[in-house]
Structure 1
Amino acid sequence: MTLAQRETDVLSTIIESYISTALPVGSRTVANASRLKLSAASMRNTMADLTDKGYLEQPHTSAGRIPTAKAFRLYVDSLLRMRPISREERSSILARLTLQGLEISKMLQQATAMVSSLSHEVALVLAPGGNDVRWRRVDFSLLADRLILAVLVLDGGMVHSRVVQLDEQVTTDDLIHFANYLNSHYTGLSFSEARSRILRELHRTEAHLEKLCARALGLARLAFSGETEEERQLFVEGTLTMLDKAEFTDAARMRELLALLDERTRLLKLLDNTMRSADVSVSIAPDMPEAEDSFAGLSVISAPYGGDVPLGVVSVIGPLRMDYGTVVPVVDCISKSLSTLLKDRFSA
């Protein structure tokens, strides 16, 4: 449904007032803030038309209007004015992430804290899942007789390690040969691809495999083929910011939202879906059929990080009346900063 210019101006004014105050907006407020020089009667008529079209609702008969989810969808898609992050702020963000060193968990934890601090909302950062990240190298160390430490390094600085008990004796030289063989054949594959290939190779008749190959694959199978996708780390910061939001002053609603943030399975599903976008996405409750009723009145702003093949996602969850003009650039900047650091440090 196309709106007239007068209607979009009035709607934009109402939304921005509601974002600022969390209060229903009356015609007098709109008349004072809007660029339109309309009479009180004309303003009331325009607001009534927007209500009939589903963009506004009136919580009480004597109250002003508040924007609906449909209004916020239009606002985000067509009316939003961004407040971009300056070059100096971008440099500062990148520097603060760089200070975390090479350990990706610390970097993502810092990124989550920064998103929450800059957006004043609940921030979530989903760490990479091991199965989809490329194999960089594997190393084996002899801990004791027939006791081996296997360490697999994946793109992005992710490390899988496991202690393996063997049935036969091996030497340090054997382990070096095994690692060299595996690194020459599996580097560059995703963890899941490498694991599948190892299992396929072992299903072939061992007579067709060289002894070194068979032993190396057997050790790799023991070390890694039994692993499933690790429980992906999900960093959450800013839960207490909800206490400052008018929408969550109701104790029951606050408990519902806290329970939602504690349900990893549902959050992971939601965030995984947002990784399909190539850029920043804004999901408003009706756009998220998988989110169910507990997401009513909420928006999720997300951006994937990691380059052409996303490794994870940076997100913010907050009320419909989030300050999108501020939050969208924050999420975009930090996701791109993470992509830059991961590419510079860990890509081949």
Structure 2
Amino acid sequence: MQLTPRQHTVLTTIVEAYIGTARPVGSRAVAKASGLCLSSASMRNTMAELAEAGYLEQPHTSAGRVPTPKAFAHYFRNAPARAALADSEQRDIRDGLGSAGAELSAVLRHCSRLLSAHARQMGMVLAPEGNDVRWKSIDFVLVRPRTAMAVLVLEGGVIQNRLVDVDEAITRDDLTAYGNYLNHHYAGQTLSQARARILAELGGARRRLSRLYTRALTLARDAVAPLGERDLFCDGALHLLGQPEFSDAQALRELLRMLDDKKRLLELLERTMEAGGARIRFAAAEPGPGAGDYGLVSAPYGGAGAARGVIGVIGPLRMDYAKVVPVVDFTARMLTELLETRY
């Protein structure tokens, strides 16, 4: 449905009023705020037309109307250009990421806190896929007979420790030689690349290599086994609990169910991986059980065409997107720059 200028003005007025108050908006308030010289009957008719088209709904017995996800989608498709983030906020985000620590996990965890603090909603950061992180070095430490600790250092300061089985007769010098050999051949490759090569070479290693390096490949195979689920860092859930929308017990239960469903959050964020720049989604329109009235602003980080992860802010449907979108967009760009220069 193509909205008329009158319908667009009325809908814009209702959306902006609802963002500010979280309360149903009545026809009198719309008439006063919109500047339209309409009779009460004409205003009610226009609001009824918008409701019939799916842009407004009437909660319970309230005389006012609230905008639906469809209304918010229309509002932001036709909103004026977003203002840039204030210089002070840009400095705080840039300096905060730069001082978060050397390890990638510490940077990403602090990034979720910065998102939450500046957006006043819940911030989320989806870590890079472990199999796409590059191998920097591996060392083996004999911890007891028949058991060694493999210490695999990945780009970004990520360290992965795993216990691997070894022969009883193995020595510390053997383990040092294994590490030197593996680092010479596999450093700089992603884990998925290294794993594929190791498995391929291990098949013919007994024919081509000495027993020493066959053992090295065997240990490496165990040390670079596929990683588990991607890390998701979240901060600021209390911002959501303080919103008027979630004072209702049923709405609160749906919110907590959604936040507890890590798989669902991962799916929502991963849909942003192929898109550039900040994206807005209204989760009431998303498939799946427990979808409530909340919005998600997300953006990939890691470089154009080579996104490594996603950051996002989740909040009530009426959150101030004009404020949140620049926060998410700028933070994603700063995180990308940091990864490119540091790691």
Contact 1:133–1:311 (CA under 8 A) maintained in structure 2: no
For 1:80 and 1:16, how far apart are their aligned partners in 2? 13
Measure the CA separation in 1 of the matches of 2:137 and 2:263: 31
Post-superposition CA distance 1:196-235 (Å, at most 9, x none): 221121122621335554333122123223xx32343222
Shift of 1:342: 1.4
Please give the secondary structure, in 2, of the residue aligned with 1:97: helix
Does residue 1:305 correspond to 2:301, yes or no? yes
Pair 127,62 (structure 1): closer, same or farther in 2 beyond 3 Å: closer
Counterpart CA distance in 2 for 1:283 and 1:242 is 17
* Residue equivalent to 2:34: 34
Q: Could you tell which deviates more after superposition, 251-260 or 145-154?
A: 145-154
1:121–1:317: 8 Å Cα contact kept in structure 2? yes
CA contact (8 A) 1:274 1:303 kept: yes
Say whether the 8 Å CA contact 2:254–2:291 is kept in structure 1: no
Alignment of 1:75-114 (within 5 A): 75-79=75-79, 81-114=81-114
Q: Is 1:314 aligned to 2:311, yes or no?
A: yes
- 3-state SS of the aligned residue for 2:101? coil
The two structures, once aligned, show a CA RMSD in angstroms of 2.5
Give the Å deviation of 1:304: 1.6
Letter matched to residue 22 of structure 2: A
Task: Measure how far apart 1:67 and its partner are.
Answer: 0.9
TM-superposed CA distance for 1:255, in Å, is 2.3
| Deviation of 1:48 (Å) | 2.8
Match of 1:162 in 2: 162
Q: 1:255 is matched with which residue?
A: 253
- 1:129–1:230 CA contact under 8 A, matched in 2: no
Q: Give the 3-state SS of the residue equivalent to 1:295 in structure 2.
A: coil
Counterpart secondary structure, 1:63: coil
Aligned mate of 1:338, from 332, 335, 339: 335
- 1:178–1:320: structure 2 CA closer, same or farther, 3 Å change rule? same
More displaced 10-residue stretch of structure 1: 120-129 or 31-40: 31-40
> Aligned match of 1:294 in 290, 301, 305?
290
Deviation sequence 1:33-67 (CA, Å, 0-9, x none): 22544454443333233223221223356612211
The verdict on how the C-alpha distance between 1:52 and 1:265 changes in structure 2, with shifts beyond 3 A counting, is closer
Task: Summarize deviations over 1:298-324 as a string: whole Å, max 9, x none.
Answer: 222111222242222211222211111
Alpha-carbon distance change, 142 to 15 in structure 1, aligned in 2, over 3 angstroms: same
Kindly provide the CA deviation profile for residues 49-107 of structure 1, in whole angstroms up to 9, marking residues without a partner as x. 32232212233566122111111111222226524212332122111122221022222
| Counterparts of 2:200 and 2:65, CA distance in 1 | 64
1:185 is aligned to 185
Secondary structure of the equivalent of 2:290? helix
Once the two structures are overlaid, the 10-residue window that deviates more, 256-265 or 320-329, is 256-265
Could you say which residue in structure 2 is the equivalent of 1:56? 56
CA distance in 2, matches of 1:14, 1:81: 20
Q: Could you tell me how far apart the structure 1 residues matched to 2:80 and 2:211 are?
A: 65
Q: TM-score, normalised by structure 1?
A: 0.88
Instruction: Give distance in 2, aligned partners of 1:29 and 1:342.
Output: 49
1:148 partner SS? strand
Counterpart Cα distance in 2 of 1:80 and 1:15: 14
Stretch moving more, 47-56 or 175-184? 175-184
Alignment partner of 1:151 is 2:151: yes
Structure 1 gaps, min length 5: none
Q: Distance in 1 between matches of 2:119 and 2:235?
A: 11
**How far is 1:249 from its partner?**
1.0
> CA 1:287–1:89 in structure 2 vs 1: closer, same or farther (change >3 Å)?
same
TM-aligned CA distance change 1:62 to 1:217, over 3 Å: closer
State the distance in 2 between where 1:298 and 1:221 align.
44
Provide Cα deviations, 1:224-279, integer angstroms capped at 9, x if missing partner.
Answer: 23xx3234322222222223222111123212311221222222232222323222
Instruction: Provide the C-alpha distance between the structure 1 equivalents of 2:215 and 2:289, rounded to a whole number of angstroms.
Output: 53
1:74 aligns with 2:62: no
Stretch moving more, 79-88 or 230-239: 79-88
Could you list the per-position Cα deviations for residues 120-139 of structure 1 after superposition, in whole angstroms to 9, with x for gaps in the alignment?
A: 21222222231222223323
- Shifted more, 237-246 versus 80-89: the winner is 80-89
**How far apart, CA to CA, are the structure 2 residues paired with 1:80 and 1:255?**
35
Q: Specify whether residues 189 and 287 from structure 1 end up closer, same or farther in structure 2 by C-alpha distance, changes over 3 A only.
A: farther
272, 275, 281: which is aligned to 1:274?
Answer: 272
Following TM superposition, by how much is the alpha carbon of 1:142 offset from its aligned partner in structure 2, in angstroms? 4.7
Contact 1:283 1:301 in 2 (8 A): yes
Q: Write the distance in 2 (CA, Å) between the matches of 1:81 and 1:164.
A: 56
Q: Match of 1:321, as an amino acid?
A: R
Higher mean displacement: 137-146 or 6-15 = 137-146
**Which residue of structure 2 lines up, in the alignment, with residue 243 of structure 1?**
241
Secondary structure at the aligned position of 1:259 is classed as helix
